[in-house]
Structure 1
């Protein structure tokens, strides 16, 4: 079945050739509209965007909102990290309290409360010291002996030891680091106006100002918190763009100079690329889609396809001009062939990107939508605007002395480049079937090897490295990256404050905690713990409201008696009159500690279990879920380990699902489009052979280079299909056009030499243009750039080496005589039976 698509192509040809000025004006108007949308582009950064709607993340959000953790990433708190020879010395603790006091005294800090080891020590010496001023006074008047005694008294108090580094020595009353916490209560207008601006946290300006105060205060105190982390999430994105974009532009311009070899064509191609980016990001602002860190890859991808379309359009036009055709006739011949090819490329590329809509991760879905829309814009601009502008400019050249530097096409028969590009044709002529079998075996082997590719997701993926490479630090302003501190702080916290036994997981429990059996549930859940949990006497090591009660009972006789009266089974856990137990806790020195594990409305609690150091994240996650199932109340296993593992699993699922959908969608689209346009659906199979090989080789290369699927590289396989199909479609469509006029081998040679030259120029330009992502401050973005460049190179090579033999094998099955033009045999329909069978040149006559 043939579709009379020529009517649409002729309509486009007519406007491009006969009304180029009006076409250009229409595109300028649309560009102005999208430029308005540029002002509405917002940004989103960090790991939180990937964890939306994940049950473990929802539970973790409730934990952060409901419990006053003394050491957490609570978005309403600021951490004061103090270092020193002994942060428990009298002088160091006074310095910590004075820092807390300075912040509390400032109205713009919105301080609602503070806590620190220094405050615990001061209240141990004098329980009436409830204010920072009184605590400072108590410590200043205390003797060193009183201070050491107070420290030792809290040696078993988790609320005290939890804020101290792992080298805490109770006997010597010393530690090398401690963490103080400042709680904030932000007014609605402050929280609402700051959140979401440039991806920042409402705490960013507060914590930035707090660091300035710390820099002018005594003691080695560093401010840390979600605002500082959020700021670096945004800063590293802008720094990466500032470094990568100029480098990409320089490289692309250099390659375009070689590809076009004409100043006017170079300026036209560059302007069209800029227009594509403006349209896409204008759409971003108009549609209200936030710019996330993955979308840093969108401009290079648009440049990749745009450069390819631009070089093909100009190169094919030059080929036709070289035959003696005039401006209008040459452009009509070129667009007759290229508009259909561009449409097929656009359809398959959009399918490849839109396959990411199946992902459960919002940023990857947004990336798929924006990239897909951007490719459609690229098709319109380079398929319609650029040819119209080229016609308009070349007519002006005939009237005015506008210089033409070089208008010869890339790749000509008999040239050295043409001989190199024709290697695949030689293989196709000698042993096409044997070569395809070898490629198939290699692809299967590569695919099997690729099954060992890891999957990862961590906060560090979105943050700059602890040490920026020297070549980036040597860059002049304004390209020099900022001074980054978050990763070094995170590493310090992990080294100094993470238990030597390993990490931890949390179980969030929802239920009426005043019910008599509530605490017994918490206690019994730790019996006979799973293998990854640290245990003693067949009980899991944990921190919970139960351990807070037991700790206070050991130090407070009155409270111990209260617990004993309400403990019916004598296991140290009260199981009646729990409201009275909680009331006592709230009036005791451990009030803030109890608030870490029991919500204000007493309808939820959290239990934190210690995990052994040799346990994998998956083992810890599975065991945490097993323990959560022991509760009769609703319980969810959560914590950063579990959330990141769930996101990691979704990344892998997203990569596989997107690959399957992209491949399946591409097969269906190509079968359908070649059936409609050429009545040759079977050629879609030949079209896909190099793409399947490229995907297998890219996946194998990931494992070889030890690059895992992460938030950035999760899209690489579907992207390989989306970009790689570009090369093979151009070859196939040109081959069909040539095959109607001559024998199979001549058709292949003309196709590979003519189209292959444009493909090579496109490959070099885009692979280097995207490859400059290795200069990004984000290492994972650099990995994405490397993989994308590799996928483009693989797609180019397979299109020139694998596709010609595939086309020869296909031709043997479909056509009666390889030495005759397709459709020229006695039993075949005549050329006049199909509008596609008629050459573009003939339609001009």
Structure 2
């Protein structure tokens, strides 16, 4: 045990002797950090999570090796047309005319267009190769001729796959179809994730405006639209959440402070903490992402708690008729240590996320930890100085106080309500703790079944937004979001076109005679999630290219036949000659997208069912890869996202373990150093373990998964939750060590004094964080709910469980002391 009071007294002396200078210094530092605000950039979407993923690295290898098929300058726009019958003449003309308008605009960088309408037009007139000629062919044909041509064209599975599932072959009718426009745009990314910024965004938004002149309902869909919504949702969420949080928090603070000057000081302190944190992000070049939207509410949570405790503790001294300076000295002496304990454990909880393999989670942990340190400095140094300076000016200019009574003052109704935990601890601490232990075990075991997810939809607004959002005035009214609605529509109505794919990246000596036969046989007896065609997996590979070109070129077909021992169209001899001929033919571009120039790498793309689960797709992809007697790796966007999902779960477990271990060690050491009682650190940890178990069980019960943001909640629950129990335990230690205070008196004073500030803090922070539930994106809404729950559980366990834990601690330590004491002779 060290004499820490010397350092605390020095800090308190400096603050109370130089309050004006301290305030001025903090304002100067605010200007310095404020300079970094202009450097903040944004990063949204899912690509930020996939950058360091091993599966993404494998996909990048595929993209790099087979660049012709994965040209990063290539993009496409889907035109989703809905009509009474999209195969009618007027509807098909609408589609062709829109595609013609797009192709005629150089700024849209369109290179080609395809649709069922163009195929029907070419069926009417095989020489109609341009959009203009196809429009002419349709316009000159009679409705019966168009119907006959449509029936003939849609007999092809490739063409009918572009029609909705309600396509009727007999009546030649369908309610929806998909047209495609291809673009050549530099700077497009080929990663599995979707970025919040894309060169395709402006192009596809402009095409959407062009659909207004169409008679049919045509929606534009593509990566640009998705990227645009991912980018806009951050700004819209902030505009919606921040004002709501500010209003609610302000309302609670008015009730908690009950004095306009104290309220102003508290709000200014919160603003300084946020400005410092965001300024740090700009100076450190950390991009603002969806995850970091949660940082301001977290800072508000801790800042409000610190502010209420500081002002409340100061008021407790002032009601004793003490002058401002000695009152503030006592406040700083007691709370600076409690603030240090809370800050240390909270920072450790956030920094535990540095163990994550996902860069956005690491950035979140770092920014939140730095923000908490800033909050500690602002509310531990600036606010006491500003409060004292304001009270000196108040007395000098005879400004009246509006309210000076502390929350939860002795004898008040709130104090009597908060004493419930003390009563339980006095009457039946052991029985109560046994019940709590059983509850913790059951809730924790149940919570281990919580789901883990990662998908693009987590970051997109839901299809059905609350009606009140569209009733909000500008600029709070969010924009119109359609991506989720369009995704759901495509999935529900174009099952055949919405199947994902798994790419098998193969490395080996492909000149060996058995290589192509091995690739061909690998499609036999496919797993359930793979799309089948005649009991074979639907796939494209170098074998597909060889067969397709053999159908077009008789000379090449003869070469294949001469080297095909079993007559199945797959050569199994002189493969290098086959490759050489193929890569020097008109099919070379297609061939190079499936085999490298050194004939050592190839890829096989398997189509999977649209309704297959992510777990099934990944498992089946790995199974098919293992069948090959070459070095094969399953990859693709689904595999990448599943890899991120698994990493999220691992990160949650690792960060929770690290946070618990680091926090336990910190508490044990700090209480041994400060109080000479390391066991108080264990007492401090008990309510947190209980609250984490309750939180995990509640998440599973409410169906809230561990996703990119909620995965951090377990370590955050430690960081924020320890706040409540640390204030209770440290205040108890001070009161218990005070002369003349027994156990009951110390607990009564602790709960009566600290409990009031804790209640005010809980109400404001749960409301401020819970308001994230109205955020536009599901991931933010879920984070707001679970964070608010973690605060409430921490508050509840701090006031109900901690007193019983302290009583049991006192009995055990007193028993140990009595046992260790020497017996009188």
Q: Same fold (TM over 0.5)?
A: yes
1:512 Cα shift? 8.0
Q: Distance in 1 between matches of 2:299 and 2:508?
A: 52
Q: CA deviation at 1:313?
A: 0.3
Render the CA deviation track for 1:773-795: whole Å, top value 9, x for unaligned. 12212233222212111111111
Q: Shift of the alpha carbon at 1:381?
A: 0.3
Q: Does the C-alpha gap of structure 1 residues 458 and 524 become closer, same or farther in structure 2, counting only changes over 3 Å?
A: same
Post-superposition Cα deviations, 1:200-244, rounded to whole Å, max 9, x if no partner, equal 212111211121122234543322111111111122222221111
Aligned pairs (5 A) from 1:168-567: 168=167, 175-187=174-186, 199-217=196-214, 219-499=216-496, 504-509=501-506, 519-535=516-532, 539-547=536-544, 550=547, 563-567=560-564
* Deviation larger for 394-403 or 122-131: 122-131
- Whole-Å separation in 1 of the counterparts to 2:586 and 2:145: 26
1:804 aligns with 803
1:515–1:578 CA contact under 8 A, matched in 2: no
* 1:655 corresponds to which of 647, 652, 656: 652
| Superposed displacement of residue 129, structure 1 | 4.9
Residue 311 of structure 1: how far off its partner (Å): 0.3
Q: Kindly state the Cα deviation for residue 664 of structure 1 after the two structures are TM-superposed.
A: 0.7
Kept after mapping to 2: 8 A contact 1:75/1:225: no
| 1:740-771 deviation per Cα after TM superposition (whole angstroms, max 9, x unaligned) | 12211111111110111111111111111111
Say which is worse superposed, 419-428 or 166-175, in terms of deviation.
166-175
Quote the offset at 1:105 in angstroms: 2.5
Deviation (angstroms), 1:714? 0.8
Pairwise CA distance, 1:616 = 3.9
- Report the CA distance between 1:697 and its aligned residue: 0.7
- SS of the aligned residue for 2:178 comes to strand
Which residue of 2 is the match for residue 646 of structure 1? 643
Query: What is the aligned partner in structure 2 of residue 787 from structure 1?
Result: 786
Query: Conserved in 2, the CA contact under 8 Å of 1:343 and 1:379?
Result: yes
CA distance change for structure 1 residues 420 and 220 in 2, over 3 Å: closer, same or farther?
closer
Per the TM alignment, residue 148 of structure 1 is displaced from its structure 2 partner at its CA by 6.3
Pair 283,157 (structure 1): closer, same or farther in 2 beyond 3 Å: farther
| Distance (Å, rounded) in 2 between the aligned partners of 1:625 and 1:745 | 63
Q: Taking structure 1 as reference, are residues 500 and 285 closer, same or farther at Cα in structure 2, changes over 3 Å only?
A: closer
Moved more, 607-616 or 732-741: 607-616
The within-5 A match list for 1:760-839 is 760-815=759-814
CA–CA distance in 1 between the matches of 2:404 and 2:667? Answer: 34
Contact 2:161 2:497 in 1 (8 A): no
Q: Which has the larger displacement, 647-656 or 721-730?
A: 647-656
Partner of 2:687: 690
Aligned to 1:39, the other structure's residue is in SS state helix
2:587 aligned partner = 586
The match for 2:724 is 727
Does the aligned pair in 2 maintain the 1:9–1:339 contact within 8 Å? yes
CA contact (8 A) 1:56 1:636 kept: no
Q: Report Cα offsets for 1:667-717 as digits up to 9, x if no partner.
A: 011111112222211111111111111111111111221211112211111
Deviation at 1:149? 6.9
The residue number in structure 2 matching 1:838 is none
Separation in 2, partners of 1:204, 1:616:
29
Which TM-score applies when normalising by structure 2? 0.90
Q: Determine the C-alpha separation between the residues in 1 that align with 2:419 and 2:650.
A: 40
C-alpha separation between the residues in 2 aligned to 1:17 and 1:501? 68
Cα separation, partners in 2 of 1:51 and 1:384, compared to 1, 3 Å: same
Taking a change above 3 Å as real, the CA distance of residues 247 and 505 of structure 1, as seen in their structure-2 partners, is same
Match of 2:81 in 1: 82
Structure 1 position 550, deviation (Å): 4.6
Q: CA 1:586–1:560 in 2, change beyond 3 Å: closer, same or farther?
A: same
Counterpart CA distance in 1 for 2:713 and 2:704 is 11
Deviations 1:57-114 (A, max 9, x none): 33445667757889x9997222222233444455444443332332233222123444
326-335 or 409-418: bigger deviation:
409-418
Distance 1:55 1:112, change over 3 A: farther
Equivalent in the alignment of 1:36: 35
| Most deviating of 674-683 and 730-739 | 674-683
Q: Is the 8 A contact 2:315 2:404 kept in 1?
A: yes
Structure 1 length-normalised TM? 0.88
Q: Distance in 1 between matches of 2:497 and 2:179?
A: 21
Q: Distance in 2 between matches of 1:492 and 1:197?
A: 20
- Contact 2:74 2:185 survives alignment (8 Å): no
Does the CA contact (< 8 Å) of 1:43 and 1:198 recur in 2?
no
CA change 1:197–1:88 in 2 (3 A) is closer
Q: Secondary structure at the match of 2:779?
A: helix
3-state DSSP of counterpart to 2:705: coil
Q: What secondary structure is seen at the aligned counterpart in 2 of 1:766?
A: helix
Give the Cα separation in 1 of the matches to 2:554 and 2:85: 32
Partner of 1:27 in structure 2? 26
2:10 maps to which residue? 11
- State the number of aligned residues: 811
Q: Distance in 2 between matches of 1:761 and 1:670?
A: 25
- Conserved 8 A contact 2:345-2:719: yes
Q: For 1:198 and 1:555, how far apart are their aligned partners in 2? A: 40
**Farther-moved stretch of structure 1 (100-109 vs 790-799):** 100-109
Match of 1:624 in 2: 621
Maintained 8 Å contact 2:274/2:296 = yes
Taking structure 1 as reference, are residues 237 and 385 closer, same or farther at Cα in structure 2, changes over 3 Å only? same
Q: Which residue of 2 aligns with 1:831?
A: none
Bigger mean CA deviation after superposition, 226-235 or 771-780: 771-780
Answer yes or no: is the 8 Å Cα contact 1:204–1:230 preserved in 2: yes
Aligned counterpart, 1:842? none
Instruction: Tell me the distance in 1 between the aligned counterparts of 2:781 and 2:186.
Output: 40
Q: Is the 8 A contact 1:67 1:599 kept in 2?
A: no
Question: Is the aligned partner of 1:746 residue 2:745?
Answer: yes
8 Å Cα contact 1:731-1:751 kept in structure 2: yes
Cα displacement string for residues 649-681 of structure 1 (whole angstroms, at most 9, x for unaligned residues) = 111111111111111110011111112222211
2:220 match: secondary structure: strand
Contact 1:562 1:581 in 2 (8 A): no
Deviation at 1:302, TM superposition (A): 0.6
What does the per-residue CA deviation read over 1:146-195, in whole Å, with 9 as the maximum and x for residues that have no partner? 7667666665766544444334556665544333333332346xx79xxx
Q: Write the distance in 1 (CA, Å) between the matches of 2:747 and 2:258.
A: 26
CA gap 1:89/1:611 in 2 versus in 1, 3 angstroms = same
Range with bigger deviation, 271-280 or 202-211: 202-211
Instruction: Give the deviation of 1:498 after TM superposition.
Output: 2.0
Identify the residue that residue 670 of structure 1 maps to in structure 2.
Answer: 667
Match of 1:102 in 2: 101
Determine the C-alpha separation between the residues in 1 that align with 2:93 and 2:594. Answer: 28
Q: Distance in 2 between matches of 1:377 and 1:207?
A: 43
Listed as ranges, the gaps of 5+ residues in structure 2 are none
Equivalent residues of 1:42, 1:198 under 8 A apart? no
Match of 1:836 in 2: none
Q: Tell me by how many angstroms 1:625 deviates.
A: 0.7
Q: Distance in 2 between matches of 1:102 and 1:514?
A: 48
CA distance in 1, matches of 2:502, 2:155: 21
